[in-house]
Amino acid sequence: MGQQMEEFSTAGLAPRQRLEYWNALAGDALTELVADPLLDALAFCGRLMHTQVGQLRLAEVCSDPAIVRHSREHISRAREPKFFLCVQLDGVSVNRQQGREAVLQYGDFTLFDSGHPYEVSFVEPNRMLVLCMPQAELRRRMANPEAVLALAMPGSRDVSGLLSSFLCNLWRARCGERDLVLGPRFGEAILDLVASAYAPVTQASAHLSSLSIMRRERVRSLIESELHDPQLTPSRLAQRLRISPRYLHQVFNDEGETVARYILRRRLEECARALEDPAQQGRTAIDIAFRNGFNDASHFGRAFRKHFGATPSEYRRGRLAPRG
């Protein structure tokens, strides 16, 4: 693929064609996903520009308020998995993967793995710079990137700030000079800078062995894949992983919460996302709860109120109320 800058927009399309076009466009340029607009779907607008830098792809994504999801179904159809470094340019986004959440403001960035489900939500118009990297290339420079997925990195200080400023300035220069040619070694330098930006984080957790990190990520990944199953318990997890329940809790100890509490929290978070999704207004709160691993309506109601400070119906009304 050449290095020319390509630009696409929903402008000029018939309203009913915009969303389908946008989802197909984003899937082709980055990875398969679906955007669910938070406002009028027929009025949804989006714009995408992208170019190549060696083996890397750099893209600017702008769109109206939406919840963007990369699901297990998308993963099954995807090409080679990639890492995505997302830098916030305008607006505020909430980025979730593997049970973690990163809230990004201008200049902040986070890392996604396209081999796992993720979600990005924003309630205002959003503009984000996305760096798409082959997984093998980043792994050559950075040990266990999974340990820093969906971690908010500040764009205002230290090496992470240097990386953010560098990428933003590079993008401005690339947009200002459409014929600018950046050789493969420039892409190599970007990958080195990404690894350097995350080095303090990985060094701070150097007391954890790579094996322990891998085992914890394996536990987390299994929980995410079976979150909807009401039979998912710490004991069953231990059986599936062929380890003792005691060792399971030791592996998870650094998370700051027990395995059971993590499972409950993740189920509640998934229920909350469904309740605030306009596309799921036709589903009852109990239906949503049962689809996300709960099998007792009373327990769900009590746990939800304790966690969010509101009943499921109150939460839904507050999140779906028109914004004036």
pLDDT, one tens digit per residue, over 218-231 is 888 889 889 999 99
- The model's pLDDT over 4-51, given as tens digits with 9 standing for 90+, comes to 889 999 998 999 999 999 999 998 889 999 999 998 889 999 999 999
Sheet containing 93-97: order of strands: 34-37, 66-70, 118-122, 93-97, 100-104
What token pair was written down for 151?
Answer: 């971690």
pLDDT at residue number 322: 61
- The model's pLDDT over 42-99, given as tens digits with 9 standing for 90+, comes to 999 999 999 998 889 999 999 999 999 998 888 888 778 899 999 999 999 999 998 8
pLDDT at residue number 31: 92
pLDDT at residue number 255: 59
> If one looks up domain 6-204 in CATH, what number appears?
2.60.120.10
Q: Give 48's strand partners.
A: 8, 61
Tell which wins on pLDDT, 241 or 305: 305
pLDDT at residue number 155: 92
Above pLDDT 90, what percent of the chain?
57
The reply to whether 210-320 shares the fold of 6-204 is no
CATH architecture label of 210-320: Orthogonal Bundle (1.10)
Residue extents of the structural domains in the chain:
6-204, 210-320
pLDDT at residue number 216: 77
pLDDT at residue number 324: 44
Mean of the pLDDT values across residues 244-264?
81
pLDDT averaged over the chain?
88
**Is residue 291 pLDDT above 70, yes or no?**
yes
Residue 177, Cβ density class (10 Å: 0-12 exposed, 13-18 middle, ≥19 buried)? exposed
Tell which wins on pLDDT, 63 or 184: 63
pLDDT at residue number 179: 66
* Cβ count within 10 A of residue 207: 8
Whether this prediction's pTM lies above 0.75 is answered by no
